[in-house]
Amino acid sequence: MIELKNISKTYKGKFYEVHALKNINLKIDKGEFVAVMGSSGSGKTTLLNMIGLIDKWDEGEVYIDGKKVEKKNIQEYRKKYITFVFQHFALIETDTVYENIELPMLARKVPKGKRKETIKTLLSELGINELSRQLPTKISGGQKQRVAIARALASDTEIILADEPTGALDKENTEDIIKILRKLAAKGKTIILVTHDIHVAECADRIIQIENGEIVINP
């Protein structure tokens, strides 16, 4: 599903040069749930950004679904394959839960009837039916993360990249979100999760450890 070959990334400024990633080789299969761990500044967020095609690599090649990603076509690949779920939810506070989930379908010009049907299904599957007309400011952190996941699913992409999705949640809500992510992987979604929490990471199919821009553990 995803393959990085000899990926390197260096950030340069007038007085600094940071080798964020060094010759990274990584393969993740369709439907796999992978956790990425590493200390602060280890390169895990840069790695996630490379997989998510947010940032451009200096050297190497990225393949998605067996196709080489050309830098000129990055936006096309992002739109087709990738959705992010963030620690702080990234919901639009002036829009209702329904409207937040609807956004990616509006961008894809999904017909109104299909949007309504999809949102109804997602609200039910994630246990947030009663929140449809609520504003994000009126719901809990755990509920906000469920809405963020529903929005990601509404994008209808095969790859979900989760950047510390449980970092702002208590133990009970963390367990609920991990259960949801595991169910999505079981349905064929490819989940890549960045976390500092070993207990969260151990719920994944495998754990990738990155330090100083290099993958040091890749079972």
pLDDT digits (tens, 9 = 90+) for 35-71: 999 998 899 999 999 999 999 999 999 999 999 999 8
**For the chain, how many structural domains are there in total?**
1
pLDDT tens, position by position, 109-133: 999 999 999 999 999 999 999 999 9
- The pLDDT of residue 71 is 86
Interacting residues of 63 by C-beta distance below 8 A, sequence separation 6+: 2, 3, 4, 5, 69
Would the pTM of this model clear 0.95, i.e. be above it?
A: no
Burial class (CB in 10 A: 0-12, 13-18, 19+), 135: middle
Specify the range with the lowest mean pLDDT, choosing from 14-18, 21-25, 109-113, 145-149: 14-18
Confidence check: pLDDT of 188 > 90 = yes
In this structure, what CATH number is given to the domain that contains residue 42?
Answer: 3.40.50.300
> Please, are residues 201 and 209 in contact by the beta-carbon 8 Å criterion?
no
Say what angle helices 97-107 and 112-125 make with each other, to 10 degrees.
130
* Domain extent at residue 48: 2-217
